[in-house]
């Protein structure tokens, strides 16, 4: 008998979502990730959970409605990671006419009718706080509801849930060969050791590596896809309001500027074709300048390329033709004496849960499995209502009275109701162990190593949190030394 019912190559959002779905439906699952979970495109997404307003312009009404329904699912199952925000589009006479924007937003409200999020509004920004950060001569802006997500924590908590349901998650495990017969025989280099596992079916969720994995590891024809790079920049906080600004750039592209990790602003995105090693995706200087220029057309506070504190870039596959990007693509292949193979490419964060559900459902003729379940079951720590976030923060501060407001918010945003699993019964800050920067402590580092597969400082500083943005160099070194001996 095969070791597993399903093996998955790739620990990005698509891979872990399939692992969670399949493990919860009773399959024996193993997931192999060559580096850290979410280290590919999944930590470089534009962080939006949205219906995609621009989809209305392309007349993708059904797709927008389906994505808005999925947005509601995320608010229900991941209220700690997915936050409703008010998005503001300043109207400019050179761009799409105001009546057209207003019409789109009314339609967007209609398509999202059951969400419970506030409807769109027209604002006079000469008086409204939304206008404070904007250059003149903006007189009007349109405000609507959508959501932002902590993309990498979404990957990690999905993997945590998959593991809690029995999936084996291996990081630092590169699949180097896959032989196909009535079952799959996979060779992996797992933290330096060669291992062989067998599985009844295989999923390749390898993002920008899809074509090379198909050609060199699976030895099947690669899918018809293009590799694209998407990049964003992080600068100091440019505005006080809790809005996401949406700018219509001169070239028709929509540029988003959103509050990021309390003290910063995330501006993006810019995308184009990519060639090269997907593990090394660097943002071109011209792309950095493009996003700075876009922000400078709208915000009063000017930014130069030297103000960019971090660039975020990822590469992924885009199905040909590109109009299918939102849902991504999926190829399913099986045959007499040939174990099933599912290849996933592209697709956005909003529709990832449904994509995973669809992928696993393709295997129903091959195994007995239980019904679809992921739309109703919260991710770890997510068992509260989306508008109850502040109450959760208050409860955390009540229990650990020595925590500051900002620290409590970050912890609830990362762990939801599972903060107690991280902090335990500590009655005093000294019981948290050594401090690394103002917020990270030994107790959290240990938790991340034991329960969330963190192995190196970057796994914690950039993926399980974004504390790398503020942590001084000396603290990073102390963190590395601590992790080298901690278990």
Binding site for ligand FAD (CB under 6 A): 9-15, 32-35, 39-42, 44-46, 48, 174-175, 205-209, 213, 217, 228, 230, 271, 314, 316, 346-350
SS3 369: coil
Residue ranges in 31-120 assigned as alpha helix (H):
54-57, 61-77, 98-111
Total Cβ atoms within 10 A of residue 339: 23
DSSP 8-state assignment for residue 134: B
CB-nearer residue toward ligand FAD: 99 or 193: 193
Helices (H), 112-264: 151-164, 210-212
Smallest separation (angstroms) from ligand FAD to the CB of 13 = 4
45: left (phi over 0), alpha (psi -120 to 50) or beta: beta
380 vs 387: CA distance, rounded Å: 17
Cα–Cα distance, 296 to 301 (Å, whole number): 7
Q: How far is the CB of 215 from ligand FAD (least distance, A)?
A: 12
Gap between the Cα atoms of 465 and 445, Å rounded? 11
- Shortest spacing between CB 361 and ligand FAD, in angstroms: 18
Query: How far apart are CB 202 and ligand FAD at their closest, in Å?
Result: 12
Q: What are phi and psi of 287, to 5 degrees?
A: -70, -35
Q: Which is nearer to ligand FAD, 326 or 410 (CB)?
A: 326
Residue number with CB closer to ligand FAD (42 or 407): 42
Contact call for residues 199 and 5 (beta carbons, < 8 A): yes
The nearest distance, CB 18 to ligand FAD, in angstroms, is 9
List C-alpha distances in Å: 136 to 91, 300, 425.
11, 8, 52
In the complex with ligand FAD, which residue's Cβ is closer, 34 or 465?
34
CB 474, min distance to ligand FAD, A? 30
| Cβ proximity to ligand FAD, 15 vs 382, nearer residue | 15
Whichever of 13 and 308 has its CB closer to ligand FAD, that residue is 13
Q: Could you tell me the smallest distance in angstroms from the CB atom of residue 330 to ligand FAD? A: 11
Q: Which two tokens stand for residue 164?
A: 């809690």
Q: Is the peptide bond before 448 cis (omega within 30 degrees of 0)?
A: no
Nearer to ligand FAD, 10 or 437 (CB): 10
> 160: Cβ–Cβ under 8 A, 6 or more apart, which residues?
380, 451, 452
Q: Which is nearer to ligand FAD, 237 or 253 (CB)?
A: 253
Distance set, CA 403 to CA 79, 326, 439, 476 (Å): 21, 40, 10, 22
Instruction: Tokens 């962080």: give the residue.
Output: 47
If the CB atoms of residues 222 and 442 are measured against ligand FAD, the closer one turns out to be 222
CB of 175 to ligand FAD, least distance (A): 4
Q: Which residue is nearest to ligand FAD (CB)?
A: 12
Q: How far is the CB of 316 from ligand FAD (least distance, A)?
A: 3
d(CA 409, CA 394): 9
């Amino acid at each position: 008998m095969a070791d597993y019912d399903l093996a998955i190559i790739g620990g990005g959002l698509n891979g872990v979502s399939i692992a969670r779905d399949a493990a919860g439906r009773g399959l024996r699952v193993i997931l192999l990730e060559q580096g850290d979970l979410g280290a590919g495109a999944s930590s470089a997404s534009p962080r939006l959970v949205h219906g995609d307003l621009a989809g209305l312009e392309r007349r993708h009404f059904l797709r927008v409605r389906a994505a808005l329904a999925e947005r509601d699912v995320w608010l229900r199952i991941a209220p700690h990671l997915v936050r409703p925000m008010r998005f503001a589009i300043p109207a400019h006479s050179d761009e799409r006419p105001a009546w057209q924007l207003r019409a789109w937003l009314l339609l967007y409200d209609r398509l999202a009718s059951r969400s419970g999020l506030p409807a769109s509004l027209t604002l006079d920004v000469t008086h409204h706080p939304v206008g404070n950060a904007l250059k003149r001569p903006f007189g009007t802006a349109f405000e609507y509801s959508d959501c932002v997500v902590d993309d990498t924590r979404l990957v990690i908590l999905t993997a945590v849930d998959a593991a809690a349901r029995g999936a084996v998650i291996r990081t630092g495990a590169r699949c180097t060969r896959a032989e196909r017969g009535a079952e799959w025989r996979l060779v992996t280099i797992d933290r330096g050791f060669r291992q062989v596992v067998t599985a009844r079916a295989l999923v390749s969720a390898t993002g920008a590596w899809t074509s090379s994995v198909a050609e060199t590891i699976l030895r099947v024809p690669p899918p018809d896809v293009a590799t694209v790079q998407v990049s964003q920049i992080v600068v100091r906080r440019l505005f006080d309001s809790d809005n996401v600004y949406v700018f219509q750039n001169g070239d028709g592209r929509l540029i988003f500027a959103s509050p990021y990790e309390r003290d910063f602003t995330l501006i993006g995105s810019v995308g184009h074709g990519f060639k090269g090693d997907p593990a090394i995706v660097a943002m071109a200087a011209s792309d950095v300048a493009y996003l700075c220029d876009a922000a400078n057309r709208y915000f009063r506070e000017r930014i130069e390329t030297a103000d960019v504190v971090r660039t975020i870039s990822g590469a992924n596959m885009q199905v040909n033709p590109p109009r299918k990007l939102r849902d991504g693509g999926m190829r399913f292949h099986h045959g007499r004496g040939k174990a099933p193979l599912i290849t996933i490419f592209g697709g956005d964060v909003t529709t990832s849960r449904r994509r995973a559900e669809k992928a696993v459902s393709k295997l129903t003729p091959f195994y007995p499995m239980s019904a679809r379940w992921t739309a109703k079951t919260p991710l770890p720590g997510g068992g509260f209502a989306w508008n109850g976030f502040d109450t959760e923060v208050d409860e955390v501060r009540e229990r650990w009275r020595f925590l500051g407001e900002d620290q409590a918010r970050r912890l609830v945003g990362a762990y939801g109701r599972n903060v107690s699993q991280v902090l335990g019964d500590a009655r005093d800050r000294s019981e948290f162990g050594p401090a690394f920067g103002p917020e990270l402590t030994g107790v959290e580092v240990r938790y991340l190593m034991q329960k969330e597969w963190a192995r190196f400082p970057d796994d914690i500083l950039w993926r399980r949190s974004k504390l790398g943005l503020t942590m001084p160099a000396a603290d990073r070194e102390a963190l590395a030394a601590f992790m080298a001996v901690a278990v």
